[in-house]
Structure 1
């Protein structure tokens, strides 16, 4: 069952790309590189790596997605890596245990639940594209420890208006 939680601002290092549903690797495959980059510079990670969806246009198969790694304090980006801050606010959260391919059903149930509760997302829609203030998938399972995607733990965090 989804919950509503208040979350603070959270600094991170990220990389942002325009991708399709089949080209997530363009951002996702950079997470390990970002973690290494942070470690080389003496920065400490502060939680699960995530995907942040800035815009979603499923009919055109076009997404603007950011892969990010939370850090304990502000960092300065370099090259394709940039520093950012996830906004504070009220978020609907839900957890999923299983393959990331099963997330679409979990997301649909979260969206349905929120509509039934009369909640409004931090999201605008223009010309069929959803533009989100902060929509996250946090990947809590380290694939080096658990390579079986069916055993992964993923948290959803969608910011409310």
Structure 2
């Protein structure tokens, strides 16, 4: 996976709608399957999308449950309802990389992405607590519409991991 080409970008804060759930990685479908529900709810409430659907990993624990959100950037702020909540993705510097391929191949991409950041001297907005990674903002955005391209091997997925604030700026709350 040495053929990745990450970049660092500045992003403004972004409102989003989401459904949150704690899941084991081998049961990721429990949260992934909720994206359709979220899309339908937003459409039904006339809320315009402001970007591609994503998964936000608040915690990552490969041996236990991870806290994950199925989310969509939005251009209007509806009232939350039931499991559907409204939040804001934090502004900041993000390392990003674009992957074309099946979502099941992301583990190797993430490993190479993290190795790249280490070589570049970049520090993630992440702390390890009791064996789990707690992320300031770690996104996996699905740029390909599966209704247009059903072959998951051709999907484009963007990883965007927030970088720690530079010295002299305030860090986000953990």
What's the TM-score once normalised by structure 2's chain length?
0.89
TM alignment of 1:126-145, pairs within 5 A: 126-145=129-148
Find the partner of 1:85 among 77, 84, 88: 88
1:55/1:64 contact within 8 Å kept:
yes
Find the partner of 2:38 among 23, 34, 38: 34
Shift of 1:22: 1.8
The reply on whether 1:76 has 2:79 as its aligned counterpart is: yes
Structure 1 unaligned blocks of 5 or more: none
Shift of 1:40: 1.1
The number of equivalent residue pairs is 160
What's the TM-score once normalised by structure 1's chain length?
0.96
User: SS of the counterpart of 1:22?
Assistant: helix
Q: Measure the CA separation in 2 of the matches of 1:126 and 1:61.
A: 13
Q: Measure the CA separation in 2 of the matches of 1:76 and 1:68.
A: 15
CA RMSD of aligned residues (A): 0.9
TM alignment of 1:28-67, pairs within 5 A: 28-58=32-62, 60-67=63-70
The reply on whether 1:156 has 2:148 as its aligned counterpart is: no
* CA shift digits 1:105-146 (9 cap, x unpaired): 111111001111111110001121100000000001111111
Q: Measure the CA separation in 1 of the matches of 2:119 and 2:78.
A: 40
Structure 2 unaligned blocks of 5 or more: 165-174
Shift of 1:74: 2.2
1:56/1:64 contact within 8 Å kept:
yes
1:48/1:138 contact within 8 Å kept:
yes
Q: Measure the CA separation in 1 of the matches of 2:150 and 2:140.
A: 18
